[in-house]
C-alpha cells in the first residue's frame, strides 16, 4: 500500500519540541512524528477498548466458560 500524505500544522512549541527530539535521537522529523503519532493512536485505541470492557463488566453479568460454548454453532451463525 502506498503512503498517503497528510499535512499537519503544530504550534511553535510543539514543532520546536519535535525538532529538538529528532535532533537528540538523530532521527528524521517525519520518522519520529510518525512513530509518536502511531503510539498515540494505539494508546487511544487501548483506552477506548478498556472503557468498552469496563461497561460490559458488570456485577450481574453471567459468566460463561469457553469450554461450555458450542463454537461450531456460534461460528456457523456468525458467518
Q: What is the pLDDT of residue 54?
A: 84
The rounded distance, in Å, linking the Cα atoms of 50 and 44 is: 10
Position 1 scores a pLDDT of: 63
- What are the residues whose beta carbons fall under 8 Å from the beta carbon of 57, sequence distance 6 or more? none
Can you give the residue ranges of every domain in the chain?
12-78
The alpha-helical segments, DSSP class H, found in the chain are 12-25, 29-56, 71-78
What is the pLDDT tens value at each position of the chain, 79 positions in all?
678 889 999 999 999 999 999 999 999 999 999 999 999 999 999 999 998 888 887 888 888 888 988 888 888 865 5
Amino acid at each position: 500500500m502506498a503512503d498517503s500524505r497528510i499535512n499537519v500544522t503544530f504550534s511553535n512549541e510543539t514543532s520546536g519540541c519535535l525538532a529538538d527530539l529528532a535532533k537528540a535521537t538523530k532521527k528524521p522529523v517525519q520518522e519520529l512524528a510518525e512513530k509518536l503519532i502511531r503510539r498515540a493512536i494505539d494508546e487511544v485505541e487501548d483506552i477506548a477498548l478498556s472503557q468498552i470492557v469496563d461497561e460490559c463488566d458488570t456485577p450481574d453479568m453471567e459468566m460463561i466458560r469457553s469450554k461450555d460454548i458450542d463454537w461450531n454453532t456460534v461460528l456457523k451463525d456468525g458467518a
